[in-house]
């Protein structure tokens, strides 16, 4: 196993096909079971992500083959005009959404080849991505194996997202270094996610 490498946007674009191939391998299977249309759209989504201010990706290889990827960027102060941020504001309210994301690193993706899962690669990649940040956040399915990893690393489930955000599975925001939402947002969360 090679050491973790950090890539900027142009470097990530250069290996975009390789990242997209690993994404397909990881997200075509349960629990995600992404549709062929969503999998086909991923390369464009990745390319757009690499253009975000402060984009960074962390990768690890095994014998030259890509084994894991984590990437993200600093959350912008203006949360308007983006489906994820609009949904977060709808779930938590504008004030709590801003409190959860302000000055934080947004982990957009973390995926590890199934043959390499359970070996600590996800932990290593995530730790590298959020190093130097007091706060970070991400979105995942609370029942996904990665959610257990996040909780072991000190991430807390902060707010459930509405069911229409990702109809296949319930999704929640997890935060590192932030307290949970206000009482009003917790009540909204209880309505959305009776867990």
Helix/strand number for the chain, H first, E second: 8, 7
Query: Does residue 185 carry a pLDDT above 70?
Result: no
What is the per-residue pLDDT for 184? 39
- The domain made up of 5-192 has a fold known as Aminopeptidase (3.40.630)
**E strand or H helix at 10:** helix 9-14
What is the per-residue pLDDT for 175? 96
Give 181's pLDDT tier (boundaries 50, 70, 90). Answer: low
- Tens of pLDDT along 6-55? 999 999 999 999 999 999 999 998 889 999 999 999 999 999 999 999 99
- Tens of pLDDT along 86-124? 999 999 999 999 999 999 999 999 999 999 999 999 999
Query: Does residue 72 carry a pLDDT above 60?
Result: yes
CA distance 169 to 161: 10
Domain ranges of the chain: 5-192
Residue 117 three-state SS: coil
Bridge partner list, 56: 72
- Tens of pLDDT along 119-177? 999 999 999 999 999 999 999 999 998 999 999 999 999 999 999 999 889 999 999 99
Residue with tokens 């050491």, as numbered in its chain: 3
pTM: 0.89
Strands of the sheet with 5-7, listed across from one edge? 5-7, 56-62, 65-74, 105-112, 136-140, 172-176, 156-160
């Amino acid at each position: 196993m090679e050491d973790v490498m950090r890539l900027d946007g142009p470097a990530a674009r250069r290996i975009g096909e390789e990242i997209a191939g690993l994404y397909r391998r990881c997200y075509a299977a349960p629990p995600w079971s992404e549709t062929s249309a969503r999998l086909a759209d991923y390369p464009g989504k990745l390319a757009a992500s690499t253009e975000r201010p402060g984009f960074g990706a962390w990768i690890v290889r095994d014998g030259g083959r890509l084994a894991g990827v984590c990437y993200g960027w600093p959350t912008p102060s203006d949360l308007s005009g983006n489906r994820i941020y609009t949904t977060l504001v709808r779930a938590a309210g504008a004030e709590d959404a801003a409190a959860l994301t302000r000055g934080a690193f947004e982990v957009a993706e973390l995926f590890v080849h199934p043959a390499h899962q359970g070996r600590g690669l996800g932990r290593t990649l995530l730790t590298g991505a959020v190093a130097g940040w007091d706060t970070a956040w991400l979105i995942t399915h609370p029942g996904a194996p990665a959610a257990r990893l996040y909780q072991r690393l000190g991430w807390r489930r902060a707010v459930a997202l509405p069911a229409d955000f990702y109809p296949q599975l319930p999704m929640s925001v997890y935060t590192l270094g932030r307290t949970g939402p206000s009482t009003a947002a917790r009540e909204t969360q209880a309505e959305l996610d009776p867990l």
